[in-house]
């Protein structure tokens, strides 16, 4: 009987865990081409086969998606999968940029599956300046670009490696001979 009593408790725990969402439900308003999610405005670029469902988006949207400039949602087996992308000028990995959305849809989504693309009207990051150069270092007008320096010459010190090499060179000799036919 003890085992039978424990089993209903485990079932209650799993049901409670499944019912509790991991994040709060989003506020979604769809008005034609404009979509507002948690006071963030998006423009609907593509809605292939009416994939945008307000109720499903409300449940699946997570606040971490606010950082992206583009949201792509694809529906497969009645499940919505959301993925975010940045603008091309943002310094990030190539698979997170806007130019790879088409690749994502062809490689990771089921062929012919309905999908939608949302563009944020408030970009999350500002573009980097096109040229970030340091100003050239200014040198005084009276100095030349190259300065002259005297090179120290002379004999190597006694007992140094250079002196020992010089001595050994005197005794070495070689002869180049022609090969006999």
- Does residue 37 lie in a domain region? yes
What's residue 95's pLDDT?
Answer: 94
- Does residue 13 lie in a domain region? no
Per-residue pLDDT tens digits for 14-59: 554 555 667 789 999 999 999 999 999 999 999 999 999 999 999 9
- Specify the higher pLDDT residue, 52 or 155: 52
- The domain in which residue 25 lies consists of 19-120
Name the CA dihedral angle for 38, 61, 57, 121, rounded to a multiple of 10 degrees: 50
Per-residue pLDDT tens digits for 85-119: 999 988 899 999 999 999 999 999 999 999 999 99
CATH of the domain at 48: 3.50.4.20
* pTM of the complete model: 0.60
- Does residue 172 lie in a domain region? no
Paired tokens of 22: 């991991």
- Does residue 36 lie in a domain region? yes
- How far apart CA 137 and CA 40 sit, in angstroms, is 46
- Does residue 146 lie in a domain region? no
- Does residue 82 lie in a domain region? yes
- Does residue 70 lie in a domain region? yes
Mean pLDDT for the chain?
80
- Does residue 116 lie in a domain region? yes
Sign of CA dihedral 56, 57, 62, 63: negative
Structural domain count of the chain:
1
Task: Return the top range by mean pLDDT from 7-21, 121-135, 162-176.
Answer: 121-135
């Amino acid at each position: 009987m003890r085992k039978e009593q424990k089993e209903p408790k485990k079932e209650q725990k799993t049901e409670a865990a499944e019912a509790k969402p991991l994040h709060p439900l989003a506020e979604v308003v769809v008005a034609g081409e404009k979509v507002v999610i948690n006071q963030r405005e998006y423009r609907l670029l593509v809605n292939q086969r009416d994939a945008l469902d307000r109720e499903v988006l409300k449940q699946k949207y997570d606040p971490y998606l606010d950082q992206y400039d583009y949201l792509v949602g694809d529906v497969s087996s009645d499940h919505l999968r959301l993925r975010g992308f940045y603008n091309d000028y943002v310094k990030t990995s190539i698979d997170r940029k806007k130019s790879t959305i088409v690749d994502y849809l062809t490689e990771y989504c089921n062929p012919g599956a309905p999908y939608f693309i949302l563009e944020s009207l408030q970009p999350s990051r500002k573009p980097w300046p096109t040229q970030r150069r340091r100003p050239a270092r200014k040198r005084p007008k009276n100095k030349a670009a190259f300065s002259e320096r005297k090179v120290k010459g002379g004999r190597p010190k006694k007992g140094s490696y250079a002196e020992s090499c010089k001595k050994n060179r005197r005794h070495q000799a070689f002869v180049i001979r022609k090969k006999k036919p």
